Amino acid sequence: MKKSVYSMCGMCTVRCPIRVEVENNKVVWIEGNQHLLGGALCAKGSAGVALVADNERPQQPLIREGGRGAGRWQKVSWHTAYDYITDKLKKIKKEHGPESVVLSSRGGPWQDMYKTFIHAFGSPNYTNHDNTCGRNTHHASLSLNGVGRTGFGYDIKNSKHLVLFGRNMFASLKIAENLQTMDMLDNGGRLTYVDVRQSMTGLKASRFFQVRPGTDYALALGMIHEIIKRGLYDEEFIDRYVSGFDELCYFVEQYTPQWAAKECGVKEKAILDFVDEVAEDMPQVIFHPGWNLSRYKDSFYASRALHILNVLMGNIETKGGLIIPKGPSDCGIKGIRNLDCPKPDIKRADGVGWKYKHFDKGPGLAHLFFDAMEKHDPYAVKAWIAMRHDPFTSMPDPQRQKRFFDNCDLLVSIDTHYSEFGWYSDVILPESTYLERDNPICLQKGPKPRLAVRRKALEPEFDTKAGWEIFKQLADRLDIGDYFPYKTIEELYEWQLEPTEFTIDDFEEKGFISLSDKPIMFDRQELAGQFNTPSGKIEIISKKLEDANLPSLLTYESPRKPPKGMFRLVYGRAAVHSHSHTINNPLLHELMPKNSLWINKKIAAKLGVEENDVVDVIAENGVTERVRARVTEFIHPEAVYTVHGFGRQIPLQTKAYHAGLSDQKLMVNKLDDWDRAGGAINLCETFVQVRLSPNNPKRSVEL
Ligand SMILES: Nc1nc2c(c(=O)[nH]1)N[C@H]1C(S)=C(S)[C@@H](COP(=O)(O)OP(=O)(O)OC[C@H]3O[C@@H](n4cnc5c(=O)[nH]c(N)nc54)[C@H](O)[C@@H]3O)O[C@H]1N2
Ligand SMILES: Nc1nc2c(c(=O)[nH]1)N[C@H]1C(S)=C(S)[C@@H](COP(=O)(O)OP(=O)(O)OC[C@H]3O[C@@H](n4cnc5c(=O)[nH]c(N)nc54)[C@H](O)[C@@H]3O)O[C@H]1N2
Ligand code: SF4
Ligand SMILES: [Mo]
């Protein structure tokens, strides 16, 4: 029997809307939802078929038998696994208090479920991956605009000029955004791209600035200087909604385009030409504030400068600019209900909210739990539940992390795959893949807000379960089941939709429920109240930062030059992989089985390295990774670049096992090197040595 199911892709966390065709419990077709994406989908989205079939993923709950990481597992029933975990949690709670348990997840639309679980258990310590992702950008926006990084959407389609600093969107995909950008380019829009190397996005750009690594802040300051000097900003918008503009004018006087050009290694004329274009295109100019904005010591301030450029354009709530996302109340209707439990009134173990008051308390900062594990400061952390999060791959220096995690009595991984952390854990609970499970309904805010839901397209291939069921089962055993008021997913949907006028059947026609027919725009004269800062204005000078002894406008300091014989290690994504969890996918492995090390042609010649040679990449403490060189003119000579996610160490993943290089293993001592203003780990402040490997078969013999 053939059926068609609207759902949500899960091959990366963008969660594009999809339609899946299924015949005899096998997926025969996946496409992007025609109503929203016109059928478009990326290679990873299409490879969902291979994920379901992949038998190199955990097929039933596993409890560790040997030492941590030894890879000896006992296959157990779900009941045994649930009992094992909850017995341990009860014991830990009794001995060390409930706050000694941390739960980390990938954030996203279902985090209410995970937060409810950990809060109801009695711990305030929910955390997520964002300390290695968008935290700097998030905090930058929060300090300036009073709303976080999702506080604005981008009307790229109607924009005349999109400016991207290291936002490599045609490899680091988000299909709806890609489609909008293609439309913008087709309509004659301009794209300016800034990176230390040429990329898929740079190739589509009308202007490419190849900057010296870590100098984006200088380029942004030079742009601000010129825009202010030439009076190209939206004076009315600034008078009405912005405080601290005079301080900004005074601060940027020193940062001329001539200075910025020299600092970044670009042409002054190119900056001036760029500003000429901005004068023609504003206010339909978008400065994307960065997503994974490269993690340098001043990326928080670079991101703030990009937000300031938007403010100068006066592009907030304009067509072709930044749009404030709208929700049900803006449509005059009631929204859905989400699981909820108030956060216990206990200090967080990572210090966020009391030691570090200027950070968003929500998910805290995952790298700041290690003192609690090692020194019981401010109290002991004894258990870590990783739900769709792999600390060993996403945070640097897994070797050192293992020593911290060894202080814990319980490590649990709830994952569709064997993660590096899962492999080291005590229990693995295998979640069904996104095609084999339902997820709760979620609200997707935007100019046209909608409700979306992931529906199960297939029965699970193996003995795996959905997250909603896993958390309910654990909660029942811990006597906190009342916070999860359902037995089946249908009951959960009913409970979520109760305050609204909708039923779950309303999703069937298009796969989502539109809450508004037309885009909702606020009146630009009435934006007061949208900026959730202490003053209600966009604050160029932030009291919260100044109270934390951090400047609002940081004096520029040139990034460190790599020590002799070393290079700055930078990283990014490839269009056909999602971090580390697609490397073993049979179809995607075929498209890209390994990563490589990009190195500048002139530098490679000096090192005697030719294209495809094997090189040793050596961290400051001697840790060595081996990989093939990709020799190119299109990378700055100070940097080497690789795609993140490779170099995996799980023997059961036969395709990914030791394929390519692991960038996080080379980032030694980076757990302590984090941005006091933005919170993220300074991953890009890593230097490595590169040399031709002695293990280099120069001649291959054809047999
Ligand atoms: N060195 C270095 N570090 C980085 C980065 C880098 O480029 N270089 N990138 C950073 C960025 S931007 C990010 S966002 C983080 C990402 O860090 P993580 O969020 O930890 O990475 P992922 O690999 O996306 O996912 C984590 C785990 O979720 C599992 N998973 C996938 N789908 C599902 C599912 O449906 N259910 C469940 N339960 N589990 C699932 C995967 O198998 C994987 O083990 O890493 C960051 N860290
Ligand atoms: N295919 C695919 N798409 C994804 C993901 C995925 O895993 N796979 N993950 C998603 C996630 S979690 C995230 S956070 C986003 C990330 O999306 P992006 O923010 O676009 O992140 P990256 O791909 O990491 O791109 C980082 C770029 O920064 C460049 N760079 C390094 N140093 C500098 C510098 O000093 N200045 C400038 N201007 N650039 C520099 C690198 O060369 C690289 O091209 O992608 C999302 N989309
Ligand atoms: S970008 Fe690709 S992998 Fe990610 S959700 Fe969309 S279709 Fe799926
Ligand atoms: Mo990310």
Q: Which CATH architecture has domain 62-133+335-514?
A: 3-Layer(aba) Sandwich (3.40)
The chain-wide mean pLDDT, for the chain, equals 97
> CA-to-CA distance for 162 and 191, rounded, in angstroms?
5
State both tokens at 658. 């030791």
The SS3 call for residue 416 is coil
Atom of ligand 3 nearest to the CA of 43: 2
Q: Identify the residue whose tokens are 């001995």.
A: 95
Nearest to 162 by CA among 373, 315, 349, 9: 315
pLDDT of residue 463 exceeding 60, the answer is yes
Q: Is the CB of 104 under 6 A from ligand 1?
A: no
CA–chain centroid gap for 190, Å, is 26
* Model pLDDT for residues 206-218, shown as the tens digit of each residue: 999 999 999 999 9
Q: What is the pLDDT of residue 617?
A: 98
For position 1, what pLDDT does the model report? 80
73 lines ligand 1 (CB under 6 A): no
Task: Give, for ligand 1, the residue of 51, 103, 106, 673 to mutate: max count of ligand atoms closer than 8 Å to Cβ.
Answer: 106
Which atom of ligand 1 approaches the CA of 422 most closely?
44
Q: For residues 350 and 23, give the distance between their C-alpha atoms in angstroms, rounded to a whole number.
A: 49
Query: Which ligand is the nearest neighbour of the Cα of 680?
Result: 1
Q: Rounded to an integer, what distance in angstroms lies between the CA atom of residue 23 and that of residue 4? A: 9
The percentage of the chain sitting over the pLDDT mark of 70, rounded to a whole number, equals 99
pLDDT at 583 over 60: yes
Instruction: Look up residue 513 and give its two tokens.
Output: 């429920």
Closest residue by Cα to residue 236 from 301, 314, 289: 314
Rounded distance between C-alpha atoms, residue 275 and residue 255, angstroms: 15
Q: Distance from the CA of 219 to the center of ligand 4, in angstroms?
A: 24
- Ligand 1: distance of its center to the CA of 389 in Å? 6
Q: Domain spans of the chain?
A: 2-53, 62-133+335-514, 152-323+527-547, 566-702
Closest protein CA for atom 8 of ligand 2: 578
Pocket of ligand 2 (CB under 6 A): 12-13, 133-134, 165-169, 171-173, 194-197, 199, 211, 213-214, 216, 291-292, 294, 570, 572-573, 575, 577-579, 641, 684
pLDDT at 361: 86
pLDDT at 701: 56
* Res 303: pLDDT: 97
Token digits of residue 108: 């996203």
Options 1.10.3300.10, 3.40.47.10, 3.40.228.10, 1.10.630.10; CATH of 152-323+527-547 = 3.40.228.10
- Spatial strand order of the sheet with 285-288 comes to 207-210, 190-195, 161-165, 285-288
- Asked whether the predicted pLDDT for residue 586 surpasses 70, the reply is yes
Q: What is the pLDDT of residues 481-515, one digit of tens each?
A: 999 999 999 999 999 999 999 999 999 999 999 99
Architecture of domain 566-702: Beta Barrel (2.40)
Q: What is the pLDDT of residues 226-239, one digit of tens each?
A: 999 999 999 999 99
pLDDT at 703: 58
Range 584-590 average pLDDT: 97
The answer, yes or no, to whether any atom of ligand 1 lies below 6 A from the CB of 292, is yes
Rounded Cα–Cα distance for residues 425 and 386 (Å): 10
The residues, any chain, with a CB within 8 Å of residue 428's CB and separated by 6 or more, are 58, 61, 62, 73, 412, 413, 414, 415, 418, 422
- What are the pLDDT digits (tens) for 285-320? 999 998 878 799 999 999 999 999 999 999 999 999
Nearest to 391 by CA among 375, 403, 380: 403
Beta strands in 119-256 (DSSP E): 126-128, 153-154, 161-165, 190-195, 207-210, 242-243
- Ligand 2 mutation target, pool 193, 573, 686, most atoms within 8 A of CB: 573
Which residues have any ligand 3 atom within 6 Å of their CB? 9, 11-12, 14-16, 41-42, 44-45, 173-175
Residue 432 makes CB contacts below 8 A (sequence gap 6+) with 416, 456, 460, 464, 465, 466
End-to-end CA distance of the chain: 50
Count H helices and E strands in the chain, helices first.
24, 27
Going by CA atoms, what residue is nearest to atom 6 of ligand 3?
16
How confident is the model at residue 147, as a pLDDT? 96
Q: From ligand 1's centre to the CA of 618, what distance in Å?
A: 24
Per-residue pLDDT tens digits for 507-557: 999 999 999 999 999 999 999 999 999 999 999 999 999 999 999 999 999
Distance 146 CA to ligand 1 centre (A): 28
At 695 the pLDDT is 83
Report the CATH superfamily, name and number, of domain 2-53: ADC-like domains (2.20.25.90)
Residues in the chain: 703
Rounded to whole angstroms, the Cα distance separating 572 from 644 reads: 6
Ligand 3, atom nearest to 174 Cα: 1
pLDDT for 696 beyond 90:
no
pLDDT of residue 698: 64
Give kind and range of the element (H or E) at residue 88: helix 78-96
Note the pLDDT of residue 340.
97
Counting atoms of ligand 3 from 1, which one is nearest the CA of 44?
3
Q: Is the pLDDT of residue 676 over 70?
A: yes
pLDDT recorded at residue 293:
80
Q: Rounded to two decimals, what is the model's pTM?
A: 0.97
Q: Tell me which ligand sits closest to the C-alpha of residue 172.
A: 2
What average pLDDT does the segment 49-60 reach?
Answer: 97
CB-ligand 1 contact for 625 (6 Å cutoff): no
Q: Is the pLDDT of residue 700 over 60?
A: no
How many Å lie between the centroid of ligand 1 and the Cα of residue 390?
Answer: 6
Nearest ligand to the CA atom of 292: 2
> Mutation test of ligand 1: which of 54, 130, 149, 388 has the most ligand atoms closer than 8 Å to its C-beta?
388
Our mutation pick for probing the ligand 2 site, out of 41, 174, 195, counting the most ligand atoms within 8 A of Cβ, is: 195
Give distance in angstroms: CA of 549 to centre of ligand 2.
30
**pLDDT tens, position by position, 315-368:** 999 999 999 999 999 999 999 999 999 999 999 999 999 999 999 989 999 999
Is pLDDT at 82 greater than 90 in this prediction? yes
Residue 390: what are its φ and ψ, rounded to 5°?
Answer: -125, 90
Average pLDDT over residues 101-126: 97
Using only the alpha carbons of the chain, give its radius of gyration: 25
